[in-house]
Structure 1
Amino acid sequence: MSQPSTFFITTAIDYPNSRPHIGTAFEKIGADVQARFRRMEGADTYFLMGNDENTIKVSKRARELGVEPQPYVDDMASQFKEVWRALDISFDDFIQTSEPRHHAGCQRFIQAVFDAGDIDKRPYKGLYCEGCEEFKTAKEAVSPDGRELKTIEEAEAAGACCPNHPKTPLRIVEEENYFFKLSSFQDRLLAHYEAHPEFIQPESRRNEVVNLVKAGLQDVSISRKGFSWGIKVPFDEEQTIYVWFDALLNYITALGYGSADDAKFRRYWPADVHVIGKDITRFHCALWPAMLMSAGLPLPKSVFAHGFVYRKDEGSGVLQKMSKSIGNIVEPMDLVRRFNSEAFRYYFMSQCPFGGDGEFSFERFAETYNTGLANSLGNLYSRTITMPVKYFGGVLEGSSAIDPTAWRAGLDLPALVEELRSLVGSFQYAGALQTIWLQVIDAANRYIEATRPFALIKTDPAATKIALVNLAEALRVVSILIKPFLPRTAETFYAAFNFADAQPFDRVCFADAASRPPGPDLRVTAALVDGKVAPLFPKIDLKAEPSS
């Protein structure tokens, strides 16, 4: 028997200087949807996440709290994993870059690049942003008075900041560091982009990176001197590996690169896709492939750069980037505790295009929840379970011989399933969910209104049973199609009837939605409270909620 194909997916690793916000969670849910979908498709899927711990800001935050860096990052890793598990993020591994496995792999890699002649030591003087953990040019610096800055000395004197961290002044750092000769990889990178247009996604990000590389690349500082927290350069113990050269390597060190046990590395590398934010595309699409080229390792197959989630000010209606300084951060756990994880996942995957920017406001969240989940999905579930229990004692005898396709008359379900596979596989989540709701869930709800089984039972029980068998099949189809997006709801839908007698839930794939498998007569197996269906998604009334 042949082995299943592999699918290795990663997210960017996060700075643990503060807890994750909803923008961070947006990325993780998007990657999780893809991982769940690939598992449904039968791929041997490996999903990696982690924290980027070997940074100045981490050691600085630990000092502020009066603790050593290691216990601090270990505690933050536990907090991050708590959030991700609450959101049902199905990661297979969570790497901390302070782990020995990462240190060993980093040192082996940088040695390989040094031996290849792509690293040299030289003095350097530049503007450093502690927030980004990278050097900035005078052109990138933003002066408080808005004037153009021509030199790094002028930028430091003016108290200039980088655009992403307007509260942290840039400072000049001057020291002798090791540099990676990124400039020498320009032609090879452009050739790779040309030969593999799918490497950078979506297309808009590809154009940005190609233009950046064509404009010329600068050699990159990859070490810092005089830091005790971090990974030592193996050929110079006075130097510590600089954050980006260190952080990017998590994608291979987590698989065992540089260790005696590299079976996972040999099985899963190269990655099928790195899921990252659009602000770090140049590191993943220029620096990272150049590093791999130097070390003689295969390049990842693709990088998908998602957009940002902006917070909409409830008073002014202005969209703002989430920032601690502005005070508009929304923590995922706040929404999970107040509502639930499925509502969180549904909002961000349906309302925020994954390849572009999205927005969040509590008002829009409530509207989306009430319309899509409470009214549409929740009502379909409630009515589909309630009527068989009320009219037939929960057992639909003879249902295995009834054609369950009337509810989708006029809908080419096999073709729709193929369309959805394409949409989900290409990260077009909002489009996929819109298609499921408009063409599948709405069709089922319209079928209820057209057949009116709640009235039909008075005159034609046999026809009523046919209608209910059709609705049960609609529930089965919906459960499969929403499984990557709303795993808990999907399992609840599938467990509503004895569908598992024909096919266990953990074995269904997307294609199985197209036709009902042979199986026994249907009976209701949903959990009932006093013989009734508990509402899956009680409506939200923000006026009755605590102020946000």
Structure 2
Amino acid sequence: MKKPYYITTPIYYVNDKPHIGHAYTTIAADVIARFKRMDGYDVMFLTGTDEHGLKVNKSAELAGIDPQTFVDQVSQNFRDLMPILNVTPDRFIRTTESAHKKAAQEIWNRLIASGDIYLGSYEGWYSMRDEAFYAESELVDGKAPTGAPVEWLEEPSYFFRLSKWQEPLLTFYEQQPDFIAPNSRRNEVVKFVEGGLMDLSVSRTSFNWGVTVPNDEKHVMYVWLDALTNYLTGVGFPDTNLESYKKYWPADLHLMGKDIIRFHAVYWPAFLMAAGLEPPKRVFAHGWWTNEGQKISKSLGNVIDPIDLISQYGADAFRYVLMREVSFGQDGDFSISGMKNRINADLANAYGNLAQRVLSFIYKQCDGIIHASADLEPQDKVILLGLETALTEVRTAIDHQALHKMCDSIWQCIYDANAYVDAEKPWSLRKENPERMKVVLYVLCNVIKRLALLTFPILPQASETMLRLLGESDFDLENFSALIPDQRIIQEPHPVFPRIVDEA
């Protein structure tokens, strides 16, 4: 039986259209999900949209339509983005679904039953942009730590006894050292919890666009309590006897941007433990992008539209650049010139050129036939062994969400393969030693096959093209070390990564 693996993106807030941050998290999750599927796991990959709260309510008012119509329109923008990014979620969830409302209310009822929710009144600072409450001590120049404006709120509210969970959370972090990653985010969270936790306001009465609090219709649930529950809804909660729930919960990995680590690493495990449910196994927070060194904002007019970039450069190239350009977990700077350089140097010149020159040579000079051989020289064995080592390194990188290291390991093999071609010179061997030429080409075809399997999670379209050119139809990693059979006929190759040439 396949081992289950449950990975999620955050559900995206529907007050605006998708941007590069949404694309980044979703592509990263897709790379991991694709690799795990290839590696024999039973994967559940969940993404979706977060559709309640004050910010959505205000955005709908500004648009002059009711909230449900508004979220229907904007949620569709995110759903439409999935095939454009070539990502493969198994479930796209919306928090306005009746199944989700049922799950959120069940969490609420469990927290009431455990004595972790009580009725009081809230007075304090609230950021509509962050949908977050902040203590006076957290404000910076009268704003939230994120730079968002805050407003003073006074209203009746239910509270979650977050303060009660300070010590249990610190014990949990100590016992589960890999729960929060990268380490910089772990240190940040532990320091925050050690600084003391205040009880958390978990309902609102000043608007009604949200999940109604059970047995008190004057209140709607705090959007984050509602939103985080989606990860449970996605696998069948509140029916904990469902096969999907028993198989996939607790989640293996919640992937998100660093701005929402507190909600996932503090509030969420506290809610779950209070409700008698297991916390997820790991939360990983990646960094933010800047654009040509500048913070990205609508006011600066430098928002990066993933759909525009994909229409120009293709989904594969866009996916690769985002995964390779920065250490996953750190902040990164995006530039068009950097993207073009990566596409030309890594994809067109290194990877594409390797496949094209080898397969074209076989197609033209060997009647398109791959000749198997057991007469391998030491250098042949070394290049093939390098791919086996790379697979081990990639597995480790995936499990640590070190997606940049995944790329490094694969591209080192690509550089080594190009050096092997240059050293062996099959074009010279054609006259000097045709039998050795066949061996070299056979080795290279197996190298390209293994490279295509390793790159498939990042470059699904190009990798599939390469595998099909080689006559391969099985894309499982179980097939990784199998050698291409004798007399395999290849299709006529064509360049999979065209170079970008500036008209200027």
The 8 Å contact of residues 383 and 416 in structure 2, kept in 1 or not, is answered as no
| Residue number in structure 2 paired with 1:60 | 58
Match of 2:296 among 311, 322, 332: 322
The 8 Å contact of residues 10 and 47 in structure 1, kept in 2 or not, is answered as yes
CA deviation profile, 1:262-286 (whole Å, cap 9, x unmatched):
3322221100111111111111111
Q: Name the SS of the counterpart of 2:138 in structure 1.
A: coil
Q: Note if 1:487 corresponds to 2:463.
A: no
| Residue number in structure 2 paired with 1:46 | 44
CA deviation profile, 1:238-292 (whole Å, cap 9, x unmatched):
0000111111100001222125983322221100111111111111111111101
Shift, 1:391, TM fit:
0.5
The 8 Å contact of residues 446 and 484 in structure 2, kept in 1 or not, is answered as no
Q: Name the SS of the counterpart of 1:233 in structure 2.
A: coil
| Residue number in structure 1 paired with 2:394 | 420
CA deviation profile, 1:103-152 (whole Å, cap 9, x unmatched):
01111110110111111111111122110011223333343xxxxxxxxx
| Residue number in structure 2 paired with 1:305 | 285
Shift, 1:426, TM fit:
1.1
CA deviation profile, 1:347-401 (whole Å, cap 9, x unmatched):
11111211211110011111111100010011011111110111121113x4255
Q: Note if 1:463 corresponds to 2:436.
A: yes
Q: Note if 1:338 corresponds to 2:312.
A: yes
| Residue number in structure 1 paired with 2:2 | 4
| Residue number in structure 2 paired with 1:315 | none
| Residue number in structure 1 paired with 2:269 | 289
CA deviation profile, 1:390-448 (whole Å, cap 9, x unmatched):
1121113x42555497445367433332222112221111112112112x111211122
| Residue number in structure 2 paired with 1:146 | none
Q: Name the SS of the counterpart of 2:133 in structure 1.
A: strand
Q: Note if 1:350 corresponds to 2:324.
A: yes
The verdict on how the C-alpha distance between 1:405 and 1:71 changes in structure 2, with shifts beyond 3 A counting, is farther
The verdict on how the C-alpha distance between 1:130 and 1:247 changes in structure 2, with shifts beyond 3 A counting, is same
Shift, 1:231, TM fit:
0.7
The amino acid that maps onto 2:501 is D
The 8 Å contact of residues 240 and 246 in structure 2, kept in 1 or not, is answered as no
CA deviation profile, 1:7-37 (whole Å, cap 9, x unmatched):
1111111111111111221111111111111
| Residue number in structure 2 paired with 1:443 | 416
Count of matched residue positions in the alignment of Structure 1 and Structure 2: 503
C-alpha distance in 2, partners of 1:40/1:405?
30
CA deviation profile, 1:487-531 (whole Å, cap 9, x unmatched):
11221111121234xxx22x334xx43x33473422213xx4xxx
| Residue number in structure 1 paired with 2:501 | 541
Shift, 1:235, TM fit:
2.1
| Residue number in structure 1 paired with 2:144 | 162
Match of 2:107 among 106, 109, 133: 109
Q: Note if 1:252 corresponds to 2:221.
A: no
Shift, 1:165, TM fit:
4.6
| Residue number in structure 2 paired with 1:147 | none
The verdict on how the C-alpha distance between 1:535 and 1:18 changes in structure 2, with shifts beyond 3 A counting, is same
The verdict on how the C-alpha distance between 1:358 and 1:407 changes in structure 2, with shifts beyond 3 A counting, is farther
The verdict on how the C-alpha distance between 1:82 and 1:261 changes in structure 2, with shifts beyond 3 A counting, is farther
C-alpha distance in 1, partners of 2:362/2:385?
27
| Residue number in structure 2 paired with 1:151 | none
Stretches of structure 1 lacking an aligned partner (at least 5 in a row): 144-159, 313-318
| Residue number in structure 1 paired with 2:489 | 523
CA deviation profile, 1:81-124 (whole Å, cap 9, x unmatched):
22122111111001110111110111111011011111111111
Q: Give TM-score, length-normalised by structure 1.
A: 0.88
C-alpha distance in 2, partners of 1:46/1:404?
43
The 8 Å contact of residues 407 and 443 in structure 1, kept in 2 or not, is answered as no
| Residue number in structure 1 paired with 2:362 | 388
The 8 Å contact of residues 446 and 483 in structure 2, kept in 1 or not, is answered as no
Q: How does 1:147-158 map to 2 (within 5 A)?
A: none
Q: How does 1:124-163 map to 2 (within 5 A)?
A: 124-143=122-141, 160-163=142-145
The amino acid that maps onto 1:162 is A
The amino acid that maps onto 2:9 is T
Q: Name the SS of the counterpart of 1:458 in structure 2.
A: helix
Q: Note if 1:508 corresponds to 2:485.
A: no
Shift, 1:468, TM fit:
1.5
Q: Note if 1:272 corresponds to 2:241.
A: no
Deviates more, 1:361-370 or 1:413-422: 413-422
4+ runs deviating over 6 angstroms: none
The verdict on how the C-alpha distance between 1:371 and 1:518 changes in structure 2, with shifts beyond 3 A counting, is closer
Stretches of structure 2 lacking an aligned partner (at least 5 in a row): none
Shift, 1:473, TM fit:
1.1
The amino acid that maps onto 2:477 is V
The 8 Å contact of residues 311 and 359 in structure 1, kept in 2 or not, is answered as yes
C-alpha distance in 2, partners of 1:209/1:328?
31
Q: Note if 1:192 corresponds to 2:172.
A: yes
CA deviation profile, 1:295-322 (whole Å, cap 9, x unmatched):
101111111111112211xxxxxx2222
Q: Note if 1:373 corresponds to 2:373.
A: no
The 8 Å contact of residues 372 and 484 in structure 2, kept in 1 or not, is answered as no
The 8 Å contact of residues 131 and 165 in structure 1, kept in 2 or not, is answered as no
The verdict on how the C-alpha distance between 1:117 and 1:384 changes in structure 2, with shifts beyond 3 A counting, is same
Q: Name the SS of the counterpart of 2:431 in structure 1.
A: coil
The amino acid that maps onto 1:330 is I
The amino acid that maps onto 1:79 is N
| Residue number in structure 2 paired with 1:211 | 191
Q: Give TM-score, length-normalised by structure 2.
A: 0.95
The 8 Å contact of residues 354 and 429 in structure 1, kept in 2 or not, is answered as yes
Q: Name the SS of the counterpart of 2:29 in structure 1.
A: helix
| Residue number in structure 2 paired with 1:30 | 28
| Residue number in structure 2 paired with 1:95 | 93
